Structure 1
Amino acid sequence: MYDFNVLEMMLFTLWIYLPGFLVNTFAMMWGKWLPKTGYGPWPIDGGRIHKDGNRILGDGKTWNGLIGGSLTSGLLCWSMTMIPENWIFISPTEAATGWAANAFIVGSFLGFTSLVGDSTGSFFKRRK
């Protein structure tokens, strides 16, 4: 195990949370830039109105962002496992099982759940 000092522990925490921090940025990029190429946007709520008269989620929550953000978060996790162990202060692959696809699957799942949580917050934000 590592003998961490406080700075290394803070950097380690940021390293581990990096995909979670960036998933909303990835979703925004996919949700805003992909429609400029002619694909979408496709709102998750399909434009439906809740019984209180407001949109369920709004135009900012799209399938483009949900899928693209989740997959990009998975790619970021996968790329984090590919960094050579002496390149940064930790070895991202030390606790891995040896199968890099695990990192992609876990990263995509964590990105997806983060965006579902963001959409849930958007739902409650719109309620009176």
Structure 2
Amino acid sequence: MSNIPTNLRFAKSHEWVLDNGDGTVTVGISDHAQELLGDVVFVEIPEEGREVEAGEEFSLVESVKAASDVYSPVSGEIIAINELLEEAPETINEDPYGEAWLAKIKLSDADALNALMDAATYSDLIAQSE
């Protein structure tokens, strides 16, 4: 069973969102997503300063099995990127909810977080797909 922290929100496309409490969020891919991908060998880091819309592809994660687009779960401006993943993409497998965050986004609409799933709803989604 995947690890699903209760302090995060989730998109149906398996991205997680941490509300930083200051109008910004931290975004990454879920433990479930990294398990499906297998050993991650490359991460395309999003561009800092880029404006993204919720549901828009903004990153790519490649594993030995597949390549998967990563979609922005919220709309806003990318204000920070995790350059560690360029040198150590395997961090996604090792610490998907910690060191392996992809981007920090300044929200264009704080209410967007309400459209995302809580941990229990995300857990149900995963259970239905297994």
| TM-score with structure 2 setting the length | 0.27
Structure with higher strand content: 2
Larger Rg computed on CA atoms: 1
Q: Which has the higher helix share?
A: 1
